[in-house]
Amino acid sequence: MQQTGWHDTIVALATPQGVGALAIIRLSGEQAIAIADKMFYGKNLTEQPSHTLHVGTIRDGETIIDEVVVGLFKAPRSFTKEDIVEITCHGSMYIVKQIVMLAVHHGARLAKPGEFTQRAFLNGKFDLAQAEAIADLIHADSEAARKTAMYQMRGGFSREIKALRDELVHFASLIELELDFSEEDVEFASRQQLRKLVDNINQKITGLIDSFELGNVIKNGLPTVIAGKPNAGKSTLLNALLREERAIVSEIAGTTRDVIEDEMTLGGITFRFIDTAGLRETSDTIEAIGVEKTKQKLAEAGLILFMFDLSTEPIEAIRSEIVRLERQPTPYLAIGNKADLCDKDHITAFEELPNSIAMSALDEKDLQQLEEAILQKVNIEAFNTGSTVVTNLRHEQALVHARQALNQVVAGIEQGISNDLLALDIRQALHHLGEITGEITTDDLLANIFSKFCIGK
Amino acid sequence: MQQTGWHDTIVALATPQGVGALAIIRLSGEQAIAIADKMFYGKNLTEQPSHTLHVGTIRDGETIIDEVVVGLFKAPRSFTKEDIVEITCHGSMYIVKQIVMLAVHHGARLAKPGEFTQRAFLNGKFDLAQAEAIADLIHADSEAARKTAMYQMRGGFSREIKALRDELVHFASLIELELDFSEEDVEFASRQQLRKLVDNINQKITGLIDSFELGNVIKNGLPTVIAGKPNAGKSTLLNALLREERAIVSEIAGTTRDVIEDEMTLGGITFRFIDTAGLRETSDTIEAIGVEKTKQKLAEAGLILFMFDLSTEPIEAIRSEIVRLERQPTPYLAIGNKADLCDKDHITAFEELPNSIAMSALDEKDLQQLEEAILQKVNIEAFNTGSTVVTNLRHEQALVHARQALNQVVAGIEQGISNDLLALDIRQALHHLGEITGEITTDDLLANIFSKFCIGK
């Protein structure tokens, strides 16, 4: 697992690109403090204790590049367990470039994406699942995503995987003990007991695999289709739903508007709205949707908000639409819009239909009621229980492979195959569980994982 | 100058918006450490010494928001001279929002743009010209711009203004001393001496005002027009010139590409290329340019790169074009492109013309020669002398007003007006110089200056 250039000192901008008040440039490695000392004027950093801050200037010969604050983290009390120097400079990309290049001039090397985290992992600061959780945490944009990533980063998920591994190791030890005494024909555990043990582990792994569907929603948002006839008020509703969220975000100024353009966080869950432009133009009813693309979008949906214009659509047409919605598997809400424009009987008739909510998309109180109804449709408990959720496709795949190996074990027990063959399959399952936390790893796997990180992390 | 909410503790994200490894949230004010203590678990920050770093978690009740590093700067040893807490968290905008909102919940207030710098100014950390230089430094995108801003931020410019004020105060004291003894008809300084003193100050102010033209180029780049017939190779040349600069920038990944799209830094000077699309389509020669817009662009130019296609344009046509270029005031280079495609005599004839350089835009060595020629055309010494350059329009305006007042003084001396009237004009000049460094200021002026800062600065 030793890397080439392992004794190199690496340098990178750690804060986002762009103009801001401050930027952090991070150096990590054996020479981090020595290199910083060649650039920093104010104090001799080598002589300073760990976890201290020092004001001074970064100089290139006679030229003062910037006035900075330098933070020292001495090995092993740092993120990478190596010496780390964090230079907080003015947030100009020009100055950042000058300082980074100066560090390179004095012997540092530009860090590869994720290289700080990779070093932390290789130095035993945390395991691989925890390292991956850091990237998830950085990209978290809802409470559920943050919470799940934080649980994983703090080692909760890893502990569960480790517990499963321990159980499997215990199981393997029973099998292998028998193997050692195989000539004496001793049976330390009944086949039935073994079978029960494997089933128990398998059940836990299956629970984790099943949680990935939820995990994917937590990480990427719940695909939500707003459907309905043209002019039912779909865009009005979407804008109304997004409005407040935008206002909150804009309080801390100019956050990536494009990202939230079609996303909304409600009750800590991200709802990702899916364009139904095709639906709007070509069809009146779900049945009539011939377009493959739209069918696909509805199939992807985790929630359908089907809008009706109560002021123009007759109740019979609405009823038959809702009957169709009832027959398909995705949770839905039937939203009767423009309720302010039609008579009470019509509304009452509509409200007798299942999953119906009559409203005006322009009314703030109605919107709040709709939001509550949406949250009730989503299995909110699943998001909020402390139970472990797999959010990473790589982990899910490893769990699937581990389960396949365990199924081989079960089949082997049933067929009464020899212990040494059983042991092989058990080791295979252990291998796959070990991949998750990084006990088992390859350079390719690591390169693949960390190359997806941003530079400076 | 006391602000409302002066005893407030303010909070803001100090690093750029967006996703990155790290982000800094800054708290400043009397309650900064107390508020941080309500959120931070790991150590009691109040008990920790200044300039130290502490690892722990930010919590909202039972919920762990993030694992963070907290830096402490205790008053007056901080940027604002108030207590400052810098929370370095994971660079997720969601987490940043949670922590900022939590700080607000515990009693902090969202900082207004530039409010940290404004507090530093009001607490006497630096003067107004230095505060403004910080904004310039953050936006610096060339060595000349960085250098000028750094000189101003470190107080070089302020010292010169202060020296001018001191001279004026000395002058005023002579006048006012005479005023005190006016009944005795004492003359402490001859009118001639006074006149000489004012002329001297006026000359220095004029020098500063004149430097603003250069200052503007340093700050905003030298407007450079690439002109010439269609297919002379203008785009090829521009791309060739920009290529290396882009490569350097891309080494530190994805820097604001749109900003450098048409800018190039050469010898520490930013060249801002001006679109001559109009020129390309409608005209063959400078004389023929009827389009007002193109005329205006040429008038704005600080440098003209006029390109000829040596492989097709006859030497006589080129010569008459260059004669026209010689007659207009803007520095220019006559670039004979595609020299690799034509015979030696033609090239020799071209190279006998003034300011000519024969080349192939595709040849790296030729490009380097062109870059050297460009730098020779620009008054590179002006950029590199340590002499003060005014880069701020507000400062230039204040200097112009100060000079107007001093011209009144000169006129007054010549007309032999009374000392008390002279003293009025001198005080007026002092007032305008004081505006630059902020000895004289108003809430409106400050609001206007700091509102242009980014939030978190």
How much of chain B, in percent, has pLDDT values that exceed 90? 54
- Tell the residue number behind the tokens 């807490």, with chain if given: B85
Q: What average pLDDT does range B374-393 have in this prediction?
A: 79
Contact B80, B14 (CB under 8 A): no
Mean pLDDT along residues A74-78: 96
**Least confident piece of the model among A42-51, A156-165, A207-216, B179-188:** B179-188
Mean pLDDT along residues A324-348: 91
Average pLDDT (B241-250) is 53
H or E element at residue A94: helix A93-105
- Give the model confidence (pLDDT) of A208-226 as tens digits: 999 998 888 888 888 888 8
In whole angstroms, what is the distance from residue B310 CA to residue B305 CA?
15
| Parallel/antiparallel/unpaired status of strands B63-73 and B84-91 | antiparallel
User: So what's the pLDDT on residue A445?
Assistant: 86
Three-state SS letters, chain B = CCCCCCCCCEEEECCCCCCEEEEEEEEECCCHHHHHHHHEECCCHHHCCCCEEEEEEEEECCEEEEEEEEEEECCCCCCCCCCEEEEEEEECHHHHHHHHHHHHHCCCEECCCCHHHHHHHHCCCCCHHHHHHHHHHHHCCCHHHHHHHHHHHCCHHHHHHHHHHHHHHHHHHHHHHHHHCHHHCCCCCCHHHHHHHHHHHHHHHHHHHHHHHHHHHHHHCEEEEEEECCCCCHHHHHHHHHHHHHHHHHHCCCCCHHHHCCEEEECCEEEEEECCHHHHHHCCCCCCCCCHHHHHHHHHCCEEEEEEECCCCCHHHHHHHHHHHHHCCCCEEEEEECHHHCCHHHHHHHHCCCCEEECCCCCHHHHHHHHHHHHHHCCHHHHHCCCCCCCCHHHHHHHHHHHHHHHHHHHHHHHCCCHHHHHHHHHHHHHHHHHHHCCCCCHHHHHHHHCCCCCCC
Judged by CB atoms closer than 8 Å, whether chains meet at B137 and A110 is answered as: no
HSE of B309 in the Cβ direction (CA atoms, 13 Å)? 13
pLDDT at A182: 60
Q: pLDDT band at B6, cuts 50/70/90?
A: low
- Contact across the interface for B93 and A19, Cβ inside 8 Å: no
Largest CA distance in chain B: 87
Is it the case that residue A277 has pLDDT exceeding 70?
no
Task: State how far Cα B39 lies from the chain centre.
Answer: 38
Q: Determine which of A93, A116, A152 to mutate to test the interface with B (most B C-beta atoms within 10 Å).
A: A93
B8: left (phi over 0), alpha (psi -120 to 50) or beta: beta
Contact B90 A154 (CB under 8 A): no
Interface of A with B in 237-266 (CB under 8 A): 248-249, 251-256
B355 touches chain A (CB under 8 A): no
Confidence of residue B191 (pLDDT cuts 50, 70, 90): confident
> In sequence order, what E strands does A74-127 have?
84-91, 109-110
Q: Is the pLDDT of residue A291 over 60?
A: no
* Structural domains of chain A ordered from first start: 10-127 (3.30.1360.120), 134-211+390-438 (1.20.120.430), 218-384 (3.40.50.300)
* The pLDDT of residue B53: 98
Tokens of B156: 């070089």
Interaxial angle between packed helices A419-437 and A393-415, expressed in degrees from 0 to 180 and rounded to the nearest 10: 170
Residue A244 has pLDDT above 70, yes or no: no
- Residue A457 pLDDT level (bands cut at 50, 70, 90): confident
Residue B254: pLDDT band with limits 50, 70, 90:
very low
Residue B59 has pLDDT above 80, yes or no: yes
Contact present, B114 and B41 (Cβ < 8 Å): no
Yes or no: say if A22 and B24 are a contact pair by the CB < 8 Å rule: yes
Q: Which of B41, B65, B150, B246 to probe the A interface (max A CBs under 10 A)?
A: B150
What pLDDT sits at residue B278?
A: 39
Q: Do A249 and B142 touch (CB under 8 A)?
A: no
In this prediction, residue B130 carries a pLDDT of: 95
The interface predicted TM-score (ipTM) is 0.80
pLDDT at A276: 62
Provide, as residue numbers in chain A, all residues whose Cβ is less than 8 Å from the Cβ of B139.
19, 92
Q: How far is B15 from chain A (nearest CA, A)?
A: 5
pTM of the predicted model, to two decimals?
0.81
Q: N- to C-terminal Cα distance for chain B? A: 20
Nearest to B23 among A12, A15, A17 (CB): A15
Name, in order, each residue with C-beta under 8 angstroms of B384's C-beta and a sequence gap of 6 or more: B144, B268
Which residues of chain A does B52 touch, with a Cβ-Cβ cutoff of 8 Å? 51-53
What is the structure's pLDDT at B188? 59
Q: Give the pLDDT score at A12.
A: 96
Are A286 and A297 a contacting pair, CB within 8 Å?
Answer: no
Query: pLDDT: is A157 or A282 the higher one?
Result: A157
Q: What is the pLDDT of residues A26-36, one digit of tens each?
A: 999 999 999 99
The Cα diameter of chain A in Å comes to 87
Convert the pLDDT of each residue in B314-345 to its tens digit.
Answer: 999 999 999 988 988 889 999 999 999 888 99
pLDDT confidence tier of residue A416, bands split at 50, 70 and 90: confident
Give whole-number Cα distances, A236 to A239, A241, A258, B25, B181, in Å: 5, 9, 18, 36, 80
Q: How confident is the model at residue A364 (pLDDT cuts 50, 70, 90)?
A: confident
B116 → chain A, closest CA residue = A21
Q: What pLDDT score does A250 carry?
A: 39
Nearest to B138 among A24, A67, A90 (CB): A90
| Closest Cβ opposite residue A138 in set B67, B90, B252 | B90
Window from A204-208, A413-417, B13-17, B132-136 with minimum mean pLDDT: A413-417
Nearest to B16 among A73, A91, A456 (CB): A91
Q: What is the pLDDT of residue A183?
A: 63
Q: CB–CB of B1/B441 below 8 Å?
A: yes
Q: Which of B13, B24, B138 sits opposite A92 (nearest CB)?
A: B138
3-state DSSP of A262-324: CEEEECCEEEEEECCHHHHHHCCCCCCCCCHHHHHHHHHCCEEEEEEECCCCCHHHHHHHHHH
pLDDT tens sequence across B201-232: 999 999 999 999 888 888 888 888 888 887 88
Measured distance CA(B61)–CA(A351) in Å, rounded = 41
Query: Is the pLDDT score of A45 beyond 80?
Result: yes
Nearest to A22 among B15, B17, B252 (CB): B15
The amino acid at residue A377 is K
B415: amino acid identity, one letter: Q
- Report whether pLDDT(A301) > 50: yes
Q: Tens of pLDDT along B133-161?
A: 999 999 888 888 999 999 999 999 999 99
More confident residue, A367 or A191: A367
Q: Which two tokens stand for residue B68?
A: 């963070």
Task: Name the pLDDT band for A53 (thresholds 50, 70, 90).
Answer: very high
A residues 165-224 near B, CB within 8 Å? none
pLDDT of residue B243: 67
* Mean local confidence (pLDDT), A321-334: 91
**Nearest CA to CA, how far is B227 from chain A (Å)?**
29
Separation of alpha carbons A195 and A171, rounded Å:
10
Shortest Cα distance, chain A CAs vs residue B14, angstroms: 5
Average pLDDT, chain B: 85
Distance of CA B195 to the CA centre of its chain: 34
Query: Shortest CB distance from B95 goes to which of A52, A116, A146?
Result: A146
Helices A143-153, A128-139: crossing angle, 10 deg rounding? 160
Residue B434 pLDDT class (50, 70, 90 cuts): very high
How many residues make up chain A in this entry? 457
Q: Is A3 on the interface with B (CB under 8 A)?
A: no
Among A174-188, A330-344, B98-112, B295-309, which stretch is predicted with the lowest mean pLDDT?
A174-188
- pLDDT, average across residues A349-372: 92
Partners of residue A454 in chain B, C-beta under 8 Å: 19-21
B15–chain A Cβ distance below 8 A for any pair? yes
Spatial CA neighbour of B246 closest among B236, B231, B260:
B260
Residue B255 with chain A: CB contacts under 8 Å:
17, 93, 97
pLDDT at B283 over 50: no
Task: Indicate left, alpha or beta for B358 from its phi (over 0: left) and psi (-120 to 50: alpha).
Answer: beta
Chain center to CA of B368: 28
B51–chain A Cβ distance below 8 A for any pair? yes
DSSP helix/strand/coil, A20: strand
Q: Which of residues 78-107 of B touch A (CB under 8 A)?
A: 86, 88, 90-98, 100
**Residue A186 has what pLDDT?**
60
